[in-house]
A and B are shown apart, each in its own frame.
Chain A
Amino acid sequence: MHSENYWTELFAATQVTLSLAAVTTAVLLLLCPAIAWWFTRTQNKARPVLEALTSLPLILPPTVIGFYLLISISPNGFIGLPWIKLTGESLAFSFTGLVIGSLIYSLPFVLQPLVTSFRNTDERLLEAAASLGASPVTRFLFLVLPMHKRALISVATLGFAHTLGEFGIVLMIGGNLEGKTRVLSIVLFDQVESLRYQDAHSTALFMLAMALITMTLVYRFQSPKTHD
């Protein structure tokens, strides 16, 4: 038997989780193509450091990122303080704070595949476009992006899926407010902590199914090239 509030709790957490993943993916899709393109084109000496920096979330324990985030978005932190002055609200334990955390956490999963894909851009096509009068911005928007459509779809799904599974950072910075910052992974954690195994089983299975569906979508777009 599920506990009394189980379905409300699950529904609320699903809503938060999906919104978080959607907002994070949208923001990442706005930022990452431009950053990735810059990485593949620039001669700037700082590029390797910056690229390494953006890939750190791949290897650092989420708790480490969460810890630094917690400090920076706290009301006295270097992000938190100006944010309060600007908006009057605290970032810590807010949905916006969670979004910032997820952005960092999922960044490499969107950025890195894009960089790899962009490095394979046929330079000759860009030269042809330039000689036909296309400015760098036009080339990027009308050639580079459409030519890497597959990669864009696949990183969008990957970013989304990865944000769904976020746990460590949320635990550090998210608080646990139902309908606001309580995501599915935290719900599961709480259920296990309070020995509600029946609930935990359903939640875990639900999350597993969601992940499977998303990843199936990812791999659908990576199907062997057909001669369309």
Chain B
Amino acid sequence: MTDYSGTTSESGIDLHLSGRVTRSSGFKLSLDIKEKIQGVTAVIGHSGSGKSSLMRCISGFEPHASINLQVNGEPWQDHNVCLPPQQRPVSTVFQEARLFPHLSVLDNLKFVIRRFPNAHKIDALNHSHQDFCLPLDEVIQALSLEALLAQPARNLSGGEAQRVALARALLRPAKLWILDEPLANLDMQARLEIAPYIQMLCRRHAIPVLYVTHNLQEVLQIADQAWLVDQGQVQIIERVGELTQRFPSILSTDEDLGGVLECDWVSYHQRYGLTELRLSKSSLFLGGKIPAHTTQDSFPTQTKLKVFVPARDVSIAKTPVEGVSLMNQLPVTIVSIDQDTPQTQLITLDCEGQKLLARITRYSTEQLGLNTGQAVFALIKTVSLALPEREYQYE
């Protein structure tokens, strides 16, 4: 098996994108991006902010936009040139799987290989090919597609189809990956199924990823830096951690707001169906088993897991509470109290050096007499799927 897991270095691209996109509706997007992009860049903004237009400029679906696009010094689009999408080494996964319905899963994959016979020749894959792609057998294995190969693409469930779409994109030689809200159209079950694969792909292979989403949870879990598309402009955010403080307005829904805790895996309690995780001192319980494809039965101890805790599911007590069904109670310190909406406040908590957010009513804050610096207990109702840390290898 070819080793492609550790080759994350020196693989950024230089991207120069300037100009503007205008629509007859009056929508306008001004672009002036000069970045060396590496790792995972989240592209965030409200729906309708122009995230998708921005991605379409890069992948070649805006031939009429007056933009200037250079990648690694190579002109992709200006007033003279416009490379069509099939000639740009960009691999895109869309919101919908967009599988070819008349073909089987395997034929969907082979469709891509036939377009790039040279990149998929046996020797080409072993040599460092200029553009990144994976051989078919590895893609099938990495995305657990063996059982689906013979099925007609139209018969797949949403999650399965998106997995095939990811596979298809992995077969396409590329310098850049664009993931355009790959989870947005999936139900919760399918999201849980797909998210680990996306994590794996973002972390595992060697080329930069632009990850479009308006879900802050995904950003915090996956991305290194972010492009914020807002009011027709693109702002570069170096660290995604700054997002919650600086740009609370980008949060499209309440579910997006929350903190991420890094934990160690301790054990899985078969009898209760609970996974036990540990911060440096306290324990945290997660309903269910971490999906098999993200872990082995014996979980490597050095592995850090990121757990998302939605702010609306955190409440605060001054003393440990007994006789309630909430299982997770963590000792925390109040870092700050910010007005959120007229009725609610957003409380930033320090939990063993990590940041947690709680959204509670202003009434409760005043009733409890909460102040910054105060030691309290965070009661956590739900903890969502833990996603593995960067250094973890899925073998």
Q: Is B96 an interface residue (CB 8 A)?
A: yes
When the two chains form the complex, which single residue of A130, A131, A143 contacts B100, counting CB atoms closer than 8 Å? A143
Pick from B111-119, B216-224, B233-241 the stretch touching chain A.
B111-119
Interface residues of B in 91-138 (CB under 8 A from A): 91-92, 94, 96, 98, 100-103, 111-112, 115-116
**Interface residue? B172 (CB, 8 A):** yes
Contact B96 A130 (CB under 8 A): no
Chain A residues whose C-beta falls within 8 Å of the C-beta of B172 in the assembled complex = 131-133
Q: Does A138 contact B (CB under 8 A)?
A: yes
Question: Is B168 part of the contact surface with A, judged by Cβ < 8 Å?
Answer: yes
Known contacts A130-B84, A130-B86, A146-B102; is A124 also within 8 Å of B96 by CB?
yes
Which residues from 80 to 135 on chain A have a C-beta closer than 8 Å to any C-beta of chain B? 124-125, 127-135
A131 with B91: CB separation less than 8 A: yes
**Cα distance A149–B100 when bound, in Å?**
14
A160-204, CB under 8 A of B: which get 1 and which 0?
000000000000000000000000000000000000000000000
Interface size, chain A (Cβ < 8 Å):
18
Give the residues in chain A near B94, CB-CB below 8 Å. 124, 127-128
Main secondary structure of the interface of A (DSSP, over half): helix
A116 to B92 Cα, complex, angstroms: 30
CA distance A147 to B103 in the complex (A): 10
**Residues of chain A with a CB closer than 8 A to B152's CB:** 228
Q: Among B84, B102, B115, point to the contact of A132 (Cβ < 8 A).
A: B115
Q: Is B90 in the interface zone, CB < 8 Å from A?
A: yes
Q: How far is the CB of B71 from chain A (nearest CB, A)?
A: 15
Which B residues are in CB contact (< 8 Å) with A228? 152
B392 in contact (CB, < 8 A): no
| CB under 8 Å from chain A, chain B span 309-359 | none
Contact of B98 among A124, A146, A149 (CB under 8 A): A124
A132-B111, A132-B172, A142-B111 given as contacts; is B85 within 8 A of A127 (CB)? yes
The CA-CA distance from A154 to B330 in the complex, in Å, is 68
| Most chain A Cβ neighbours within 10 Å, of B60, B103, B111, B112 | B111
Chain A residues near B86 (CB-CB < 8 A) = 130-135
Q: Using A147-B102, A149-B102 as known contacts, say yes or no to A131 and B111 having CB atoms under 8 A apart.
A: no
Query: How would residues 75 to 87 of chain B score, 1 for a CB under 8 Å from any chain A CB and 0 otherwise?
Result: 0000000001110
Instruction: Establish whether residues A133 and B102, one from each chain, have CB atoms under 8 Å apart when the complex forms.
Output: no
Given contact pairs A125-B98, A125-B100, A131-B60, enumerate 18 new A-B contacts (beta carbons under 8 Å): A124-B98, A128-B92, A128-B94, A130-B85, A130-B86, A131-B86, A131-B90, A132-B168, A132-B172, A133-B112, A134-B111, A134-B115, A138-B115, A142-B111, A147-B100, A147-B102, A149-B102, A228-B152
Chain A residues close to B by CB (< 8 Å): 124-125, 127-135, 138, 142-143, 146-147, 149, 228
Please, could you name 5 A-B residue pairs with CB atoms under 8 Å apart, sorted by A?
A124-B94, A124-B96, A129-B100, A130-B84, A132-B168
